[in-house]
């Protein structure tokens, strides 16, 4: 017989009986925590700690100049400030406009005036609008980031919630946190990891007590502008229920997704409600979203807990470590550069195309009192036509890799070449789908599909 090897399980699926977990006031998501006051108020306008041009920090004291119109800063090494004006630009009545705001303003002015007229960039102006310098201010380098990007150091809190005895390998969530560390030299970046077992009323109460003290300490540090919560868990293969922990017989048991989230998120809700952005990542197997009822309940819960966005994966045997590139792109584009996740998600996927071979992805973002759900699929003309899985073996004759393909008006047809089998499949472009950054040959790309049951 073939040799076998015992290794730790990496995927996040399984089977577990469903229970209902009770906890006093568990249905009250956050009324008490919402009334808590933060010690330090923040509107997200804290100035960056790194130059928007060279992306470096202050090489000497007072070498970063803050824009008066946005949170960006520019270092003096990237600007040719004439020696005669070195002290004049530091006067109290002088305002600074960064190069990004200047270019955006000029583009807006050109569109409004319907002409090519532009004004030179002086950078420093008195409060009455007069330029400080006697000639334009030269920038020594080119922008490495988008004009709309920042290098934000507004506080970010990472919270990693892991089911007890979680054996799946990989640290994508932690990797994103480590990537951001160098951009917070003055603090404002924290990570908390909590192992949970909330399978009984007593365990759920103990979890809440232990986390409450942690949350109080975090509140004393000030307001967390962004809160990112990752849940690493298993899911029941049949019902899509998240695992809650062990029962008295050391068996994993599961709970309905709304029951589970009400308890697991309750201590953190105050931080979520006070944050300007909050993100929920489900590092769980695809039964959570592949099961219609659990997915509907999940969407209702995301709205209930007032998350800015949530991300879930469809792979039946999901491997969390495969999301590393996606999480790094999220950290850079959304958290650091401050782009909205619903706009930047296609760009995030452009850095993680291999993930599409493993799983489709759901992005859920609130729109008033409704949830906008988009499914992202990787498609390849020969292997994943319009995001569908083409069988590796012909199900009729068992021959492998024997498909002959033809396409017409974005309709792909595959026929088994094993005579006289002729089993065939036809795949059409999903209704409402849109192709995202296709390759040069057009053979592979991501597609987005508006999702409704």
DSSP state of 356: H
CA-nearest of 278, 216, 303, 328 to 44 is: 278
- Token duo for residue 403: 């498909």
Q: From CA 71, how far away is CA 89, in angstroms rounded?
A: 19
Confidence of residue 452 (pLDDT cuts 50, 70, 90): confident
pLDDT tens by residue, 345-370 = 999 998 887 899 999 999 999 988 89
Q: From CA 322, how far away is CA 353, in angstroms rounded?
A: 11
Most distant pair of Cα atoms in the chain: their distance = 88
The answer to whether 446 and 377 have CB atoms below 8 angstroms apart is: yes
Q: Where in the chain is the domain with CATH 3.40.50?
A: 13-43+153-338
The answer to whether 350 and 322 have CB atoms below 8 angstroms apart is: no
- Which of 124 and 26 is assigned the larger pLDDT? 124
Q: What is the DSSP string of 97-166?
A: --HHHHHHHHHHHHHHHTS--------EEETTS-BSSSSPPEESS--SS-TT-----S-EEEEEEEETT-
Mean pLDDT of 105-120: 76
CA-nearest of 390, 412, 387 to 401 is: 390
The answer to whether 115 and 91 have CB atoms below 8 angstroms apart is: no
- Long-range CB contacts (within 8 A, 24+) of 418-423: 418/394, 421/394, 421/396, 421/397, 423/394, 423/395, 423/396, 423/397
- Token duo for residue 421: 């089998």
Q: CA 210, 213, 217: angle at the middle one, nearest 5?
A: 145
Burial of 186: CB neighbours in 10 Å, binned 0-12, 13-18, 19+: exposed
β-strands 13-14, 235-236 pairing: parallel
The answer to whether 347 and 329 have CB atoms below 8 angstroms apart is: yes
Judged against a pLDDT cut of 70, whether residue 3 lies above it is answered with no
Mean pLDDT of 136-147: 89
In the block, tokens 């795949």 appear at: 427
Q: From CA 333, how far away is CA 327, in angstroms rounded?
A: 10
The answer to whether 384 and 359 have CB atoms below 8 angstroms apart is: no
The answer to whether 275 and 227 have CB atoms below 8 angstroms apart is: yes
Q: From CA 149, how far away is CA 146, in angstroms rounded?
A: 5
Residue 17 neighbours by CB distance under 10 Å: 12
Average pLDDT, the chain: 86
- Token duo for residue 315: 């792979």
The answer to whether 9 and 143 have CB atoms below 8 angstroms apart is: no
pLDDT tens by residue, 309-348 = 999 999 999 999 899 999 999 999 999 999 999 999 999 9
- Token duo for residue 284: 């769980």
- Which of 1 and 69 is assigned the larger pLDDT? 69
pLDDT tens by residue, 41-59 = 333 457 898 999 998 876 6
CATH number of 13-43+153-338: 3.40.50
């Amino acid at each position: 017989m073939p040799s076998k090897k015992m290794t730790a399980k990496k995927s996040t699926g399984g089977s577990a009986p469903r229970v209902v977990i009770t906890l006093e006031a568990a249905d009250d998501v956050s009324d008490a925590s919402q009334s808590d006051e933060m010690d330090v108020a923040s509107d997200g306008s804290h100035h960056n700690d790194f130059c928007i041009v060279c992306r470096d920090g202050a090489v000497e004291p007072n070498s970063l100049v803050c824009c008066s119109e946005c949170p960006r800063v520019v270092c003096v090494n990237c600007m040719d400030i004439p020696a005669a004006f070195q002290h004049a630009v530091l006067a109290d009545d002088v305002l600074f406009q960064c190069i990004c705001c200047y270019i955006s303003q000029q583009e807006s002015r050109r569109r409004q005036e319907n002409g090519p007229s532009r004004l030179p960039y002086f950078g420093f102006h008195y409060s009455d609008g007069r330029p400080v310098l006697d000639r334009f201010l030269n920038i020594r380098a080119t922008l490495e980031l988008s004009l709309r990007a920042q290098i934000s150091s507004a506080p970010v809190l990472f919270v990693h919630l892991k089911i007890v005895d979680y054996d799946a390998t990989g640290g994508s969530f932690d990797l994103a946190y480590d990537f951001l560390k160098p951009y917070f030299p003055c603090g404002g970046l924290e990570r908390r990891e909590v192992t949970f077992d909330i399978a009984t009323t007593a365990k759920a109460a103990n979890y809440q007590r232990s986390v409450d003290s942690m949350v109080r300490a975090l509140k004393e540090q000030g307001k967390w502008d962004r809160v990112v919560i990752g849940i690493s868990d298993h899911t029941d293969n049949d019902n899509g229920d998240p695992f809650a922990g062990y029962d008295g017989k050391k068996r994993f048991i599961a709970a309905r997704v709304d029951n589970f989230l009400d308890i697991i998120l309750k201590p953190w809700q105050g931080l979520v409600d006070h944050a300007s952005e909050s993100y929920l990542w489900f590092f769980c197997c695809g039964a959570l979203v592949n099961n219609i009822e659990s997915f509907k309940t999940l969407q209702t819960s995301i709205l209930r807990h007032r998350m800015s966005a949530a991300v879930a994966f469809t792979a039946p045997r999901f491997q969390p470590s495969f999301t590393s590139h996606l999480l790094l792109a999220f950290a850079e584009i959304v958290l650091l550069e401050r782009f909205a996740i619903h706009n930047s998600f296609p760009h995030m996927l452009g850095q993680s195309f291999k993930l599409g071979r493993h799983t489709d992805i759901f992005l859920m973002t609130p729109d008033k009192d409704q949830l906008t759900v988009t499914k992202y699929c990787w498609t390849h003309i020969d292997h994943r036509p319009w995001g569908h899985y083409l069988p590796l073996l012909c199900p009729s004759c068992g021959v492998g890799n024997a498909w002959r393909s033809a396409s017409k008006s974005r309709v792909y047809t595959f026929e088994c070449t094993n005579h006289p089998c002729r089993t065939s499949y036809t795949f059409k472009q999903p209704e409402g789908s849109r192709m995202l950054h296709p390759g040069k040959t057009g053979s592979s790309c991501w597609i987005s599909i508006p999702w409704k049951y």
